[in-house]
């Protein structure tokens, strides 16, 4: 319990490090998510080339939504640094 308190105090003092860590993890999350979407999309386009346009549109849409989730984390980290 005391160790946790000490660690929390340190985290409170070095908001820059934790914000940087959070932003990095957000980037990793975005990379994984969009990578999965892109991979499935490319695979689907290879299997059925005539659907390529539809698949590409949906891929870009889903990538934007996943990116949105990663950017929530960025906003929170920004607030942690500035606030």
Partner 1 sequence: MTSKINPLISFTGKFVLLTITVVFAFSFSGICSEQDLHKKSAAHSNGNTTQKVAHAAAGPAKKQWKPGEFIMHHVADGHQMEWCGFQIPLPVMLWTEEGFKCFSSSNFYQEKNQKHVHGMEGHAFSMGDDYIMINEVIYYLKENGGIHGIQEMVKKAEEADVLLAEITKLEKQKKKAESEDEKLSLDNEIASISAEEKLLREASVIAAPFDISITKNVWGLLLVLALMVFIFVRIANRYKTREGQAPKGIQNLFEPLILFVRDDIAIPSIGAAKAEKFTPFLLSVFFFIWFANLVGLIPFLVGFNIAGTMSITLVLAVVVFIITTINGNKTYWGHMLAVPGVPKWVLILLTPIEILQMFIKPTVLMIRLTANITAGHIIILAFVSLIFLFGAGSEGAYWGVGAGSAIFMIFMYLIEFLVAFLQAYVFTLLAAIYFGAAVEEAHH
Residue ranges that bind partner 1, judged by CB under 8 A: 60-61, 64-65, 67-68, 71-72, 74-75
d(CA 63, CA 69): 10
Q: How near is the Cβ of 39 to partner 1 at its closest, in Å?
A: 20
* Cβ atoms 69, 54 nearer than 8 A: no
DSSP 45: H
Give the dihedral sign, CA 3/29/65/81. positive
Tell me the closest approach of the beta carbon of residue 5 to partner 1, in angstroms.
9
Would you say 48 or 72 has its CB closer to partner 1?
72
Nearer to partner 1, 27 or 32 (CB): 27
Rounded to a whole number of angstroms, the minimum distance from the CB of residue 50 to partner 1 is 19
Closer CB to partner 1, 28 or 75, in the complex: 75
Helix, strand, coil percent content, the chain, rounded in steps of 5: 95, 0, 5
């Amino acid at each position: 319990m005391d160790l946790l308190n000490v660690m929390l105090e340190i985290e409170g003092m070095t908001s820059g490090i934790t914000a940087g860590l959070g932003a990095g993890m957000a980037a990793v999350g975005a990379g994984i998510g969009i990578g999965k979407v892109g991979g499935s999309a490319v695979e689907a386009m290879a299997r059925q080339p005539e659907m390529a346009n539809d698949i590409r549109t949906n891929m870009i849409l889903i990538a934007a939504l996943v990116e949105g989730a990663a950017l929530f984390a960025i906003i929170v980290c920004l607030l942690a640094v500035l606030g």
